[in-house]
Amino acid sequence: MFRSGVIKISEKELLKVTKAISALIARTQLGQILERVSENKERFLIKRRGKPTAVILGIEDYLKNVIKQPDALTKLQKQTEKSGANRMTLEEIEEEIKAVRKGH
């Protein structure tokens, strides 16, 4: 029922899959699968009649490993982590914006 595997995304990229399951199992155990995806960062390959048809993976996993973000965004994220800005609350961000607008 469960097997590890690899999905070819492109000629150079592969996506490692934790488990391969049938569509029936996916339907009947979706809640458990979603829990495992979010808590354990597992990936599931869904097969229908033995053919791979879909992949279930967490949103962070998808954004990090499947969607390629622009280099500028990657650099910006690294800068915010380095400066600590990524830990700011919404209120702190709004105060920073107000302060910058007052200066102009």
CATH number (domain holding residue 24) = 3.40.1620.10
Same-domain check for residues 98 and 77 = yes
Q: Which pair of tokens denotes residue 9?
A: 């995304």
What's the CA angle centered on 5, arms 22 and 15, to 5 degrees? 110
Residue 72: pLDDT band (50, 70, 90) is confident
Residue 104: pLDDT band (50, 70, 90) is low
Same-domain check for residues 31 and 47 = yes
Q: Based on the structure, what is the number of domains in the chain?
A: 2
Same-domain check for residues 14 and 34 = yes
pLDDT value of position 2: 38
Specify whether the CB–CB gap between 94 and 75 falls below 8 A: no
H or E element, residue 46: strand 44-48
Which residue range(s) make up the domain with 98?
71-102
Same-domain check for residues 14 and 55 = yes
Q: pTM for the full model? A: 0.55
Same-domain check for residues 58 and 89 = no
